Amino acid sequence: MKKIQMVDLKGQYNQIKDVVNPSIQEVIDTTSFINGPKVHEFQKNLEQYLGVKHVIPCANGTDALQIAMMGLDLKPGDEVITADFTFAATVEVIALLNLTPVLVDVNPDDFNISIEAIKKAITPKTKAIVPVHLFGQCANMEAIMEIAKAHNLFVIEDNAQAIGATFTYKDGTKAKAGTIGHVASTSFFPSKNLGCYGDGGAIFTNDDDLAHRIRGIVNHGMYKRYHHDVVGVNSRLDTIQAAVLNAKLPYLDRYNEARRKAARKYNEAFKGVKNIITPITVNGCKDICDTCDCHVFHQYTLKVKGVDRDALVKHLNAHDIPCGVYYPIPLHKQKAYADARYQEADFPVTNQLIQEVISLPMHTELDDEQIAYITSTLINFING
């Protein structure tokens, strides 16, 4: 059995190097390292894939989220509601812009932001909601957009983990993750479902005026060289990274299906095992059905009940199985974001999840032998 990786970037590269290498070499040969043709080519191809009017590439996913908020012209003190159970970048950019983060609880089944918690958190100072499409599956965007419309709020989708996922409305219509809110951000960090070979990110929107503002912001506030019309930053997608992403984009659906296939095999192996709760999909699927398009499994995250999760992590690592705990500390308990406004009673789900979640290896190169070894090792620990 080949060595198990949490993310097998080398294995994936070996499958596509005949496409990636010439793309990188073309950039080097033309020396178009900043805003070269590959950046614009990738932008157009991603717009077509997503069905969104505007993709604005930038340097990384955190920048993408910050720039999206800058484009909305939010003011210091404006409140922005987001999930407590996520990576810190989401709340980090809110704080950096002197906005007021308002953390709320999540759902126990899909780990995404709770609709009821959003409703309870809205005040006259609320100006935006940032749903995080956690682990590869959309938050309930239909309900979130209804809330936003009723309260005149912006919706900024944090799509760093769910590119390629599809949201299905109650009437059966579909939209890609990141194309539903007023604006969205994504990350192309190497381990993402669509990852480059360094840092990269992008902002998505269907709003022409907003797209225009954001294009200026990412380039020092310039629309014409040395004419600074807005306060901006330096956040451009490197042309070499754009070349890598452009080469990988045609494989994205295949990659996402490979992840779903691995998730199905995990779920099947754990079926009926006491103390294990496997991930679900929320588009009316009883399980991860063959036509599932709502979850792209950036992470495969279990909940273990009545189990010493930290001992399980040590057991897996001792058997050469990498795993992760996403996330071990909720944001409301982080020193940087602690606030007297937060009460523990407001976060019952998050406080439970941090004790129970464990993410297993998930990537496009997982094979049946590896999955069998991972699942049997985990089940043996639980069964004692």
Burial class (CB in 10 A: 0-12, 13-18, 19+), 322: middle
pLDDT bucket at 377, cuts 50 / 70 / 90: very high
Give the E-state strand segments of 30-131 in sequence order.
54-58, 79-83, 100-104, 126-130
Contact 272, 378 (CB under 8 A): no
Q: What's the confidence (pLDDT) of residue 288?
A: 75
Q: What percent of the chain has pLDDT over 90?
A: 95
Structure tokens at 201: 């990110």
pLDDT bucket at 384, cuts 50 / 70 / 90: confident
List beta partners, residue 324: 359
**d(C-alpha 102, C-alpha 64), whole Å:** 20
Give per-residue pLDDT as tens, 245-271: 999 999 999 999 999 999 999 999 999
Residue 143 in this model has a pLDDT that exceeds 70: yes
Distance linking the first and last C-alpha atoms of the chain: 25
Give per-residue pLDDT as tens, 66-92: 999 999 999 999 999 999 999 999 999
Q: What's the confidence (pLDDT) of residue 280?
A: 86
Give per-residue pLDDT as tens, 32-79: 999 999 999 999 999 999 999 999 999 999 999 999 999 999 999 999
Q: What's the confidence (pLDDT) of residue 285?
A: 66
